[in-house]
Amino acid sequence: MPEGHTVHRTAGEFRKKFQGREVAVTSPQGRFTDSVLIDQTKLLSASAWGKQLFLEFESATLRIHLGIYGKWRFESHEGELPEPRGQVRARFANTDYFADLRGPTACELVDADQLADVKSKLGPDPLRPDPKGEELERFVNRVAKSTSPIGQLLMNQNVLAGVGNVYRAELLFRARINPHRPGKALTREQIAGIWFDAVALMPLGVKTGLMLTREGFLKGRPKKDVRYYVYKREGLPCRECGSSVVIELMATRKLYYCAHCQK
């Protein structure tokens, strides 16, 4: 499942290629019948909150959640549009670009009340501006009051929006925090430290399209086998202590950590 930085990159692509212009919106697959309600209307804004993408058109707002299988294809074109590849739920096009959406969990128009309801259930997003520190406090308070393991809390989009399996594993390793520790067992400084680390690392993902988390490999385009401390390194020596990286299941999702460094 794409993590939050990918969705923020997609919002940026829409702002760059479609915002302020009329967009032809169709559903080659035929499942997004409400496309007719926003077809040939102007895209006013594109924004992301966690793993949710919101496209505000003149006539309505479109909410998109890629889920596990959803994918985007952005391309430039001249003249006639190419035939869709595969089952395209929605196509967005103007005279210069098109974007094809395949396999999303959600692609639906929402009214103002529905939009407010969706956003009210989303946790703080480290990639959204937080000039007054209100989202930091919201995150700290939600974690500090919970008896759930911190490894599970970081995957809860009501607690922290946009973080998935990769950032979860790497943020906890960088903080030297065991993923099984209850949220309420962490100090406020530890919880805030996770937030500030996410605020520092996740913009690199927006900029580069890569999840870069390992010191010394935060620039350029390093290969996958050197980018991470523990993610997908089960059975391999920890880069810091040499102990074997552990893999477990936590709430049906794979969990990677070093039991020695993250006591």
Catalytic annotation, residues: 2-3, 51, 253
Structure tokens at 111: 């009214």
For 232, residues 6+ apart whose C-beta sits below 8 A from its C-beta are 256
Structure tokens at 195: 């937030």
30: buried, middle or exposed (CB in 10 Å: 19+, 13-18, 0-12)? exposed
List residues bridging with 261 in a β-sheet: none
Alpha-carbon gap, residue 30 to 242, rounded angstroms: 53
Dihedral angle of Cα 216, 7, 246, 179, to the nearest 10 degrees? 100
Cβ atoms of 245 and 258 within 8 Å: the answer is: yes
Alpha-carbon gap, residue 249 to 176, rounded angstroms: 19
Structure tokens at 78: 């001249």
Task: List strand residue ranges (DSSP E) for 103-178, in order.
Answer: 106-110
Radius of gyration of the chain (CA): 20
How many of the other CB atoms lie within 10 Å of CB of 165? 18
Structure tokens at 53: 């993408």
- DSSP states of 184-199: GGS-HHHHHHHHHHHH
